[in-house]
Amino acid sequence: MKHLLVILTFLYFVNTVSAQPVIKKPGKDPSAIINQPIRNAPGVTKYDFSDVKICIDKPLPTGNLPPRILPPVQRDPKINRDGSISKTSVSQQGLVSEASPYLWAPGETITVAMSTANSTDFIRGKVMQYAKIWELYANIRFAFVSQWSNAMIRVAFVPNHTSWSVTGRSVLLAPRDSATMNFGWFTNTTAETDFSSTITHEFGHVLGFLHEHQSPNSPLEWNLEKTYEYFRVTNNMSQERVNSQVINKFSSSYTNFSAFDRLSIMCYHFPAALLVNGGQDMPYNTQLSEMDKKYAGIWYPAFIPTPTQYGVITTNDDCDSISFKIEYDVVEKYQVEFNLSLGSMNGKKASWWKQIGIPLTNGTETYLEVLNNSLIPSENHTSSQQSIVFNFIDKTRGISFAKAKFLGIHTPLNLRWDLLSALRGGCRVTLQWNRETCQ
């Protein structure tokens, strides 16, 4: 018995001094490394670090990206109260000089395709749900497409316990047949917080956001020995990889950055024991922080909305008075919606037949007409609506006006309203014919 004890002690000694580290598989309990103390302080969350999965950044492909497209913001022309148009100056989008080529253009639509291999409708639905969270704060749209070859972002679900994404517009340099993002551990029973945390994080990379714990502003000071050991045991990472993914800070010369934000979705979740100064564990962030939301809006700013414009035009005929309202970004961007109705002024209703004509690029006009007081009741309609493809509208000609005059004769009026050059797709034009005689 004594001999056995000696041999065991000897073996133990040999093992601990061996130059070859014991290779352990991912998912091992790291509690011995981090010596996690029991926290009794109120308000301090105690985490279980035995199965923390992390995102491994994909190195940026090399190559020259085309410059970030930053179109100047064309302010909409001012439509004066009398219907005349005043051109306004063109202003430049903010933050241009600080923009990185890895960021997308504000307002850009990024197409995303998802592999059906190793994924379910449920999992793909989660990816769509959490990717689109960014759209609430960044002026960016993710359009999910079915064809892999049409997608800028190509999502795979290879079950290798590794999640990663190529960063920002460098996806455009990735080989077209390869994935640019992988989710390596999703199943139908994955916890909702894991879907939320992982998907939101990876789509943050798509927008060009990097790991927050490597921010040039990061105050983190790592206990190197513990940090290398911790990530080796938990995620099978080499020292080199721990340096590139955890410890090295990004250069301030090529990154835009905020004050360090420990609540950022782009921050790793790890125990405070890895830091020289200890403190609180880096929390498990499952949703965008307030700073994430704010900076998403700063790097992808929304366009300044144009306020609704109002006024009244006259047709130079019979004291006609037609009120107008021009609204912006209220219908689909490819079209303009026109509305015409009969109204009243000073208690007197406008009546009979009225018409406006919208000139088209094929040389014709399309008409909206209103009518009441017809002897045939079914002919009466006091409002009319038409949506016209913006590119089909001839902006060089004005809107025409016509109305029923003496004996009901349909008569063109002496006005071409030069409004169309001031419109853009997404506008709604509402006209109300309120007065038709001088009495």
The residues that touch Zn ion, with contacts defined as CB under 5 A, are 55
User: Of the candidates 155, 153, 95, which has an alpha carbon nearest to the alpha carbon of residue 296?
Assistant: 95
The least distance separating Zn ion from the CB of residue 110, rounded to whole angstroms, comes to 17
Which residue's CB comes closest to Zn ion? Answer: 55
C-alpha–C-alpha distance, residues 60 and 174, integer Å: 9
Alpha carbon 346 to chain centroid distance?
Answer: 49
> Tokens 């410890």 identify what position?
247
Q: In whole angstroms, what is the distance from residue 400 CA to residue 387 CA?
A: 17
Neighbouring residues of 74: CB distance < 8 A, sequence distance ≥ 6 = 90
Nearer to Zn ion, 171 or 415 (CB): 171
Paired sense of beta strands 141-144 and 365-370, if any? unpaired
Nearer to Zn ion by Cβ, of 206 and 368: the residue is 206
142 or 183, CB closer to Zn ion? 183
Helix, strand, coil tally for the chain in percent (to 5): 25, 25, 50
Q: Shortest gap between Cβ of 190 and Zn ion (angstroms)?
A: 17
Give the shortest CB-70-to-Zn ion separation in angstroms: 26
Minimal distance, residue 267 CB to Zn ion, in Å:
9
Beta-bridge partner residues of 402: 355, 412
Q: What element of type H or E holds 59?
A: none
Return the number of the residue (222 or 433) whose C-beta is nearest Zn ion.
222
SS3 200: helix
Q: Which is nearer to Zn ion, 55 or 399 (CB)?
A: 55
Tell the smallest beta-carbon distance from residue 284 to Zn ion (Å): 14
Measured from the CB atom, the residue of 264 and 341 that comes closer to Zn ion is 264
Q: Closest approach of Cβ 245 to Zn ion, in Å?
A: 8
Nearer to Zn ion, 55 or 171 (CB): 55
Tokens of 309: 């414009």
Chain centroid to CA 357: how far? 38
Tokens 């056995």 label which residue? 4
- Minimum Å distance from CB 162 to Zn ion? 11
Q: How far is the CB of 331 from Zn ion (least distance, A)?
A: 38
Residue 163 per-residue DSSP state = B
User: Measured on CA atoms in the order 260, 262, 267, 271, is the torsion positive or negative?
Assistant: positive
CB-nearer residue toward Zn ion: 202 or 229 = 202
User: Vertex 324, ends 321 and 325: CA angle to 5°?
Assistant: 160
Task: Give the residue with the Cβ less far from Zn ion, 55 or 140.
Answer: 55
Q: 127: helix, coil or strand?
A: helix
Least CB distance from residue 58 to Zn ion, whole Å?
A: 9
Q: How far apart are CA 258 and CA 217, in angstroms?
A: 7
Decide: 366 and 386 in contact? Cβ < 8 Å. yes
